[in-house]
Structures are given as C-alpha cells and as structure tokens.
Structure 1
Amino acid sequence: MKVITPHDWKPWPTPREFQKLCSNADGLFHYAATALQWIEDQIDEHGRACQSWVFNNLTQEGGLSQLEDLYKLVLTSFENIDNLPRNEQRRRARLASFRHVMGTVLVLQEQLTISQIIALLADIPMGNLDVRHFLQQMRSVLIPSTITLFEEATPQIHKSFRDYIMGVHAPAEFHILTGHAHFLTAKSCLEDVVKAGSQSDVVVRYSARHWCQHLRKAVEGGTTWEDERMWNLLGEMVKEAVFDVWKAYSWSIFLDVAAAGWGLLKVRSKYEGES
C-alpha cells in the first residue's frame, strides 16, 4: 500500500479522522480512492500547512456522504467559487481553461497519455493555465491511484465523475457542455495541424485523424458559428505547405475541410437569420 503521509507527521491522521473517512466512504471504494488521492495532492501542494485543515474539509458539517460533495470539494480546490474573486477576469480565464482541458479529456476519441494531452493543448496560454500543473492537481479524479508515473499515465475518468461534471449537479462554472468541449478540442487539433512538426507523432496523428470528427459534433450542437479563429484555421488547412505535411495522416483532408466548413456556414446562416 502506498504511503502518502510524510514520515515526520506522526501521529497523523488521528484514529478519529481515519475512522471518519472510513465512515464517509461507507464501503464505496471509489470514494475512498478519490479522497485519499485528493489528500495526497493537498500534501504535495501545500506541505505541512494542510495538516490542520485537510481532514476538516473532508469531514465538515457531519461529513461528505456522497460522491458529488467530494467532487465539488476537488473542483473548488482548484477555484473556490464560493468566495468572491480578487480578480474576476483571471477567474473567468481559469474556469474557461478548466472547461477546455477537462472537456478535451472527456471527449477524446482515443486514449492519450498525460504528456500527449499537454502537447495537444499547447494552444492554451500559460498565463491562463499551466496545463501540466492543472492535470496534476486534478489527478484524484483523472488517474487511478496505482499509477506512479504521472506523465505516462492515461486518464481513466470514473463514470460517476463524468456524469457529475457533464450533468446538472456540477456547479455551472465547472459544467462541461459536450458540444463546446468538442469544439475546443477541434480547435486545439487544428492549431497543432497548422504548426506542422511542432508536436509528437502521436499528437500529430490524433489531430489529423480526429479534428473533423470533433468539429462535426460541435457543429451539430450549434456552438461554433461565431468563432473567427476557427475560420482562420480552416483557411490555413488548405494551404499547400500545410497539406503537404499532413496528407500522410489524412488523404481526405480537403473533403474534411469542405464538410466542416459547410456545416459551419449552415450554423452561421441559421443564427444570423434568427438575429
């Protein structure tokens, strides 16, 4: 069994704290695994400073008896939406980046490792979010606790968290909309495509194979009509220099660009007609 408590913290947790955690888990392994991973993350992030409050947060007001409460605790450890922000613009940027990264992880069409996901999402400005640090912070809901090599791990999101974050129970600030997640992922893929040779072969292959699938699903949800960057990226895709690099991955790239562009035009026309 992996030891997460620093050797000089004994006796911690106290028997009472440990018993409370066991009682809250109530035989549900995923609760216990997620809670312990979250505690480990807080130790890594805050060191000894968290010793006095980490179990209190887990056991406040009679304890967290449901996974939804635990998931909200994990999310608000990233951005505490219950408190007024010091900088509203920065909070909006962080939450938008949260939805971008988490949404991409949720809608990936094939498995990628953490390091490959970081490469795929290179279009997220570091000033908004350090993607690697964020994924490390969210590992309690992304990666099984048995995995030790973080960047080589493949996210395996539990169905209960997927249902929570994409359903009606998650706070609106963290809620992932499927169509919007596909749109942001498609745009990240296209950013990789037009920056030929800047990413690993696996990321290149994923982007070339799946950008259109993501975009089509986004268009079906009507989420893409007003994004000018997407139009610019599609224009870049049909340039000879870009096509010469990516034709090895997708011979149907012109058909994909045409189909996606036509879908975007139909959605844009629909919204302009209603305005």
Structure 2
Amino acid sequence: MNILEMLTWPFMQRALIAGVLVSLCAALLGVSLVLKRYSMIGDGLSHVSFGALAIAVALGVTPLYFSIPVVILAAFFLLRMASHPRWNSDAAVAVMSASALAVGVIVISRTTGMTTDVDNYMFGSVLAMTDTDVMLSVALCLAVLILFVLFYHKLFAVTFDESFSRATGLKVDRYNTLLAVLTALTIVLGMRMMGAMLISSLVIFPALTAMRLFKSFRGVMICAGVTAVVCFCAGLTASWVWSTPVGASVVAANLAVFLASCGVAFLRSR
C-alpha cells in the first residue's frame, strides 16, 4: 500500500493537521504537568470530557462546543482540590475521574446507548474529524501555543519553585490556572481523534521520553514537542498501513520511543 496515497484522502489530511497541532500542545504542556506531579490531570480531564460528551449527545447539542467550557471548569476545580491541604492531586483526579465516568455511563445507558458517535469519542476515529473540527482545532491550538510562548518564563518559574515564585510576587495561582485551562482545551480537541480513553498518553509519554534524554528545561521542551509530532505521524501511518485504530497506534509509537529512550539513558549511565 502506497503511504503517499494516504495524504490524498481529505479525512487523513484533516487528521494530520489537527493531530500534529494537538500532539505538540499536549507535549509542551505535559512537561510542566509531569514536573509538577500533575501528570494524571490529563486522564482525569479526559474522563470529564467523556461525561460532558454523554450529556451533550443526550441533549442533542454539539459535543465539542459543550465539552470545552465543562472541561475548563473541571480543570479549575481540580486545581483547587489538588491544592487544598486535606486533598492531594492523585485523590482529586481519582474522585473527579471516577465521578465523571460514572455520570457518562449512566446518561448513555438511559438515553442513546452506545452509538457510533459515542464510540468515536471514547476510542477516537480519523473518520470522525470534520472540517469544522479541524478549523476549531487549528484556532484553539494556535491560541494555546501563543499563550504558552508568551508566558513561558512564568510557567517555568511556577513549575520548578512555587514558593520562590510566590515570594517574588508572581501570581502563582493565576498561572497554575492558565496551565490547567490550556491542558483542558488540548484534551477536548484531541478527544475526537485519540479518544477520551487514550488522549492522556499525549500529555505523559513525550515528556517522560524527553526527560530521559535531556536535562535542561528548554531541551526537554523541544525534544518533547518533536517526539510528539514524530510519534503521531508514525502512529497515523501505521494505522493507515495496518488498519489499526489511530489512538492505539499513536500510543504504541510513543511507547516504543519511550522504551528506546530508557535504553539510551541506561547506556549513558554505564
């Protein structure tokens, strides 16, 4: 099967454009999230997005437009719960993740049942991407990248030393909230193609891979972004060649690169 033929199909072109942008955003944000030990926030928000999807389908409204404000609100509350002295980030994510997933399953079971649209959102599908989805993804991903670049130094400071940043007068809560909101947008955008069950892998794997190879924050950021884009393209190509699900193929590509980076790190240490 000719791989170049893949790019002649409009649905694959849409998947490539949206997927590369979402992967890049997820990887850049994932570095800060992993370093702050918020790496599971992507998993929690993906389950929230599934719950929002189920409600949207039941109400007959556009799932993407409904999910974005719901997941952003969830990110805000998740951050507040995680910073509360009686909670920790893992417990906050677990509570919100399980609750949202339960709500989604109940709503689906009482309304539409497991339709093709719901299945696409759960596990992802390149065929599900529409021109509107791509345009919205491009616009929001560019907004995420621009905000990330503009506030890069602030996010760097908040990531490594919140106490010092707070002491110097930096609005730590504001930038933590910005990080959570950007992550929420990225999760919702990637859900259509990667699926709610697998989208969190785009946040975690590239960051972990880059941290095995580089020590500087800038080096890790660049490596994570490149890794995410390469792995997405490899996964999309593998999906086309072997007719496997895109989400699972992208995760498998990320896993292979992560294991290779672990091998490189092991050889370096010897």
Greater gyration radius? 1
| TM norm structure 2 | 0.24
Q: Which has the higher contact order (CA 8 A, sep 6+)?
A: 2
More helix by share: 2
TM-score of the aligned structures, taking structure 1 as reference length? 0.24
